[in-house]
Structure 1
Amino acid sequence: MTRNRVALVSGASRGIGAATARELARQGWRLSLGMRDPRLPEWADPASVHIHAYDAAGADLETGWVTAATARFGRIDAIVASAGICSTSTVIEADDDELNRLLEINCKAPRRLAKAAWNALTASGRGRVIILGSLSGKRVKHAGSGLYSMTKFAAVALAHGIRHAGFDVGIRATAVCPGLVDTDMARALEARAPADMTDPADLARIIAMLVDLPNEASVAEFTLNCQLEEFY
């Protein structure tokens, strides 16, 4: 089912993005990987993996990436917007510059990427968009997660907006909302042992499943957690 299908993955240098790219490649997807420091991963086949310099903090870089990926593969069937940054500021401590940077990378960049790839996703007939949200986009756990949560709530809303905008042309969008995942970003914030956090490879398998579902199995949100919380 995945033969010849093409996915764009942002934030593909490390963490969830890198794990997702590797899993999609294992399942037969052709890939265009957006990286701030573009280099071919050791596992990648150059015949089926395209590397493109991409920084989600840059203005309007998405169109160039989509153009390059389309020139290489002739189609785009899915995008996985994995690039993101975190903050431990409260909504009172933060200044506008910090908020704007989070909004730029966590919300505006994935919206621009979906917009740039829209015609190709429509032509696919079963275009898929994965927005990496967070459980912080479902609840505000503590004061220090407040600013980050603002932008992840917006990312979840973005996924819903894309789902509505594209449903009639076969585009399906999902907000994937994990709790703590064993990545550099999470380890910098938490003393929790890696074994007590979600493995990025497990999250990657979930994302691969979501982009492979038929149009008749739309999943608006997928939440998962490594610890017990009241609702998640």
Structure 2
Amino acid sequence: MDKKVMLLTGGTRGIGRKIADEAIARGWFVSIGARDPSAQDLGLAPADAEVIRYDAAKGGEGDWVAGVLERFGHVDAVVACAGIFDGASIVTPDEERVQHLFDVNVHAPRRLAAAAWDALKVSGAGRVVVLGSLSGKRVKSAGSGLYSFSKFAAVALAHALRHEGWEDGIRATAICPGLVATDMGLDAAGGAYPADAMTQPQDVAKVTLDAIEMPNTLSQAEIALNCQLDGIF
């Protein structure tokens, strides 16, 4: 395939769907990992995208990457956009709940990057994007503490991947938005902030693709985005 190929999690709705749309508009082919691809009618042309069964909490990244390489021959970018919010206390005794949060927000992006690593090296300009959060830069409240715990780790993952892949032309970026007008963002705001005043998901998508398409000589380790005044962010 002549088009560059992107692996994208969380691409069926919210920020992830807008990233898929923006990537396709810029000439990428997008392989979207979704828990139930049979239930997704995204209206995407087969020449532009595919939807593959993938559950970030359960693994299967190696099979996904192997299938993409067999069908298309290369992988040029990995974008880990799938994520969940949990407002539980940071001292919750429910270890299974904490582990599930980290499985989706941290461990799955690491496994997907690892599975695609050799292909990203071959690209010579491989890209990894981890959708972090401003909650991965500061803990704003007790109610966001557990989520922040996972997102701090996700931001650190992007930095670690950037170091690991630098000599092979791989660049990694953590995208760290504040409130975004998605279902998750509206839930997090709890009605205290209107959707039209939040950062719009299509704008996060544009920033994400801009970062991916920068040359190797311009690496953006983190990009912080916000719709409101919030300290240094």
Shorter-chain TM-score: which interval? over 0.9
- 1:108 maps to a residue whose letter is H
- Provide Cα deviations, 1:68-114, integer angstroms capped at 9, x if missing partner: 11122110000100000001122123521111011100000000000
How many Å separate the matches in 2 of 1:29 and 1:164?
Answer: 26
TM-score (normalizing by structure 1): 0.96
Note the 1:146-161 alignment, pairs <5 A: 146-161=145-160
- RMSD between aligned alpha carbons? 1.1
* Rounded Cα–Cα distance in structure 2 between residues aligned with 1:156 and 1:131: 7
Deviations 1:184-208 (A, max 9, x none): 1121232121101110000000001
Equivalent residue for 2:211?
210
Question: How far, CA to CA, are the matches of 2:209 and 2:45 in structure 1?
Answer: 18
Partner of 1:137: 136
Once residues 189 and 177 of structure 1 are traced to their aligned partners in structure 2, the CA distance between those partners, rounded to angstroms, is 15
Alignment-mate amino acid for residue 222 of structure 2? E
CA distance in 2, matches of 1:142, 1:200: 23
TM-score by length of 2: 0.95
* Structure 2 match to 1:8: 7
Among the aligned pairs, what percent are the same residue?
A: 49
Q: Where does the alignment leave 5 or more consecutive residues of structure 1 unmatched? A: none
Return 23-32 or 90-99, whichever deviates more.
Answer: 90-99
Q: How does 1:47-196 map to 2 (within 5 A)?
A: 47-58=47-58, 60-93=59-92, 95-190=94-189, 191=191, 192-196=193-197
Q: Structure 2: which amino acid aligns with 1:176?
A: I
- Paired residue for 1:224? 225
Partner of 1:201: 202
Q: Contact 1:13/1:37 (CA < 8 Å) preserved in 2?
A: no
Distance 1:9 1:168 in 2: 24
Q: Identify unmatched segments of 5+ residues in structure 2.
A: none
Cα 1:217/1:63, change in 2 over 3 Å: same
Q: What is the alpha-carbon distance in structure 1 between the residues aligned to residue 173 and residue 194 of structure 2?
A: 29
Q: How many residues align structurally? A: 228
8 Å CA contact retained: 1:40, 1:51: no
Structure 1 SS opposite 2:147:
helix
C-alpha distance in structure 2 between counterparts of 1:184 and 1:37, whole Å: 19
| Residue in 2 that maps onto 1:34 | 33
Shift of residue 40 of structure 1?
4.9
Which 4+ runs in 1 deviate beyond 2 A? none
